[in-house]
Structures are given as C-alpha cells and as structure tokens.
Amino acid sequence: MENLRYMLYPYSPELPIYFGFNFKLMDSELKNASYMSGGSGYVLSREALRRFVHGLNDSSKCREQDDHAEDMEAGRCLHNVGVLAGDSRDAKMRNRFQPMAPYSTLISSYYGLDFWYFKYAYYNPRTCMDCLSDYPVAFHYVSPAEQYVYDYFNYKFELHGRRRYKEQLPAKLTAAEQLVIPAADNAF
C-alpha cells in the first residue's frame, strides 16, 4: 500500500485517470489505446470511477454483455468515457504493476519473444535483474504462502550496512494538461 500511495501522490483524484500494467487494446476502432491487466489489478481515480459508473448506464460506451475479458472490456469502457490510461512505470521506466510473479519477470529463460507478455505489453517489457521497480505495487500469480515471504522481506528483514536514503515526493499534478502519458514503445 505504501508504494501505491507513493505512486498516486502527484495525481489529483479529480483527474480522469487509471493505472495498472498497460496492455495494447487490439481494437481496430481504438488506435493506440491500452487497458490495464486485471491480474495485477488496476486503480481508478475518483473521477475515473464516477465516469465508469455513468458509462455502465450507456450501452453505446460500455457493453452490457461480458463476452470478452473483464479487464479488456473495462479498458474499452474507460476509454470511451474519456478516462486516460496512465503510465504506471517509475522514473526509470520500470513497471510497478506486473502481470506475472516477480521471479517470472526476473528470470525470462522460460519464455521466448513470442510469449504473450512481450507481444501485448503497451510499453516494451524488459526482463532482467534491473527491470522490477524499486517501488512495486502489485504482482499477479502470487500464492498466499508467497505473500507471507514477501511480507517478511518487506517489513521484517534488515540488511546490515544498507544505507537508507531520503525519499523525495514528486510534484502534485492538478490539471489534465500537466499529464504526460507516453505513446506505446513496444514494436512486437
């Protein structure tokens, strides 16, 4: 939760924006649009939630039937009601939301470049030891037992000699004009 609050700090709840792991919305009608992975979850601002709820009452913007994946349909609906798909990556362009478990991102030898993760990610996904954000928010495919292990390493484990550095909060954004959301950079 601390990392989520840190990520959301600059954004006003009145901005129509939501965050998560961006996937390409493969829709011929919605060019360069993305949606957030349901696996690692997504977070809506207050204004985004308000628009989403109103959109659910308008079948021209949000489908009534759920014949596609929930996250994709939610992304299409949010796009249609004017909610921006935010960039959840950190300052080093590393994802804070992961649609896979941490070890799957760190150890990529299990997958070839034709794997769905590389094909559908909106921003070019990298798998390496320096690809996870220092401030991750959520992972997918994490069992309850693994959550206890992560809790231990996050809140109990101390590394002797590690220097703590003072964190600086980013500047607050109050208007949509201040948002900078990069275009997709994944060529796959």
72-120 per-position pLDDT tens digit: 999 999 999 999 999 999 988 899 999 988 887 777 655 666 778 888 8
Tell me the range of 14-18, 147-151, 184-188 where mean pLDDT is highest.
14-18
In this structure, are residues 30 and 79 in contact, taking their beta carbons and an 8 Å threshold?
yes
* 137: pLDDT strictly greater than 90: yes
CA dihedral sign, ordered 82, 88, 92, 93:
negative
- pLDDT tens digit sequence for 33-74: 899 999 999 999 999 999 999 999 999 999 877 677 889 999
Predicted confidence at residue 129, as pLDDT, reads 65
Could you tell me which residues are beta bridge partners of residue 11?
Answer: 173
Threshold 0.75, pTM exceeds:
yes
Which amino acid, 101?
A
Token pair recorded at residue 106:
């760190």
Residue 121 has pLDDT above 80, yes or no: yes
Stated length of the chain: 188
Q: What is the pLDDT of residue 159?
A: 79
pLDDT at 171: 86
Count of helices and strands (H, E) across the chain: 6, 7
Instruction: Measure the CA–CA gap between 16 and 181, rounded to whole angstroms.
Output: 13
Number of C-beta neighbours around residue 45 at 10 A: 21
**Percentage, residues of the chain above pLDDT 70:** 91
Is the predicted pLDDT of residue 9 greater than 60, yes or no? yes
Do 82 and 72 contact (CB within 8 A), yes or no? no
Exposed, middle or buried by CB within 10 Å (0-12, 13-18, 19+), for 185?
A: exposed
